[in-house]
Chain A
Amino acid sequence: MTFDATTAYRLHDRVALRPEPFGALAYHYGNRRLNFLRAPELVALVESLDGHDSVRAAFDAAEIDQRRWPSFEKALASLAASDFLVTA
C-alpha cells in the first residue's frame, strides 16, 4: 500500500521507541526489525501522529517548515513500508 500523507497513521502497537542521542531506535516485536529514527523532530512527530486526522495535520501542528515536508514524508513512508506505521 502506498503511503498517503493525507490520511491518518499511528505507530504499530508492537513497536517500541528507545531514545538515543541521535533520535531513537525503533524495534518492531512483530517482524523483529530495527529502524533508526535519525532526527529528534522525527521522533516527536512519529509519537504525535496518533492524535491527528492526517499526517499533514501533524506536520502543521508540529510547525514543520513546508520545505521539509518531502523529507519527512519519505521517512514516514519508509516506516510504513516496513509496518512500523499503520493507518489509524
Chain B
Amino acid sequence: MTAHDPLWVTFLKALVLCVVLLGAFAYMTLVERKLLGRFQHRYGPNRVGPMGLLQPIADAIKSIFKEDITVSGADKFVFVLAPGISITFALVAFGAIPGGPAGSLFGLNPWVMDLDIGVLFILAATGMGVYGIFLGGWASNSKYSLLGSLRSTAQIISYELGLGLSVLAVIMVAGTLNLREIVELNIWSVSPWLWPGLLLAFATFLISGTAEVNRTPFDLPEAEQELVAGYMTEYSSLKWALYQMAEYVNMMTASAFISTLFLGGYKGPAFLDAVVPGISEWPIVWLVLKMAIFMFFFIWLKATLPRLRYDQLMRFGWLYLFEFALLSALVTGAVIAFVV
C-alpha cells in the first residue's frame, strides 16, 4: 500500500493533531454558547474580547486557577486516573481518521495512522473511553457520581450495539475495514438497491452516535435536576476541564467518523472540479466542513430537544434503535447476497 512515515513524522503529526483538537475544543465551547444564545434569543458571550472571541482563554485561566478539590473519601489514584483515561482515548481515536488522499498535504500523508482495521480501532478506542466516566463516578465515593456513572455506562454499552450494527452495513458494502478505502470506494455509488439499507444505517448511526457522546437528548449522565452533574459532580478545576475536553473531542471524532463512513469523508463534491481543478482532492478542508455540519447538528439538537427519561432512553435503545440497526444490516446483507 502506501509507504509508512518515519516514526518522528508520525509523532509530530500526532502532536499537531492533539494541539489542533484541543484548540478546536476551546473554540467549540464558544461556538456552542453563541449558537445556543441565538437559538434562545439572547447574545451569548460577548464581553471578553471582540465578539467574545477571547472567552475560551478566560475560561481556561479560570479553570486552571480554581481550587482542585479531591474529596476526602475518594480513591485518590483512580480519581486522578479517570479523567486522564477519558481524554487519552478521546484523542487516540481521532488519530485513525484520514484527512485526505495519500501525500496530498504538502507531500505528507494527512493522517496519523493508516490502519487496515481503522473502523475497529475507532470503536475500540471510544469503547475504552467509557472507563473514564465509569471510574470517575466510582472513585468520587459519592452517590450522585456513582449513579450518574452507572447510568451513563449502561447507556453507552447499550447504544454501542446499535452503533456497531450500523457500521456493519457500511463494512459489508465496502468490503474493507480501512477508512481510507471506504472513502475512496464511495459506498453510495455501488448500487441504488443498497440505498434503503444504507440510509437506515445512517439514521441509526447518527442517533446512537449522539447517545455515545452523551449529548442531548441522551445527556442523562448530566441530568442536573436529579444527579447534580452525574459522574463529574466531585470534579473541579483541571480534572473537570479534562472531562469537558474529552466530551468535545469525542463529539468531533463522532462527526469525523460519520462523515468518513457515510458522506465521503475527505472528498469534496466532484462538480466543483470544473470551477477550480482539483478542489475536491484538497486535504482536511472537506472533512472539516462536513464535521462542522454535524457539530452544528449536535448543538441544534441540544437547543431543540428535551432530555429523555432514563427508562425511555433504555427502551428506545433496546426496543427500537437496536432492531432498526439490525434491520439495516439484514437488508444490506440480503441485497448484496441476492441483488447486486
Are chains A and B native binding partners rather than an unrelated pairing?
no
Chain A contact residues, CB within 8 Å of chain B? none
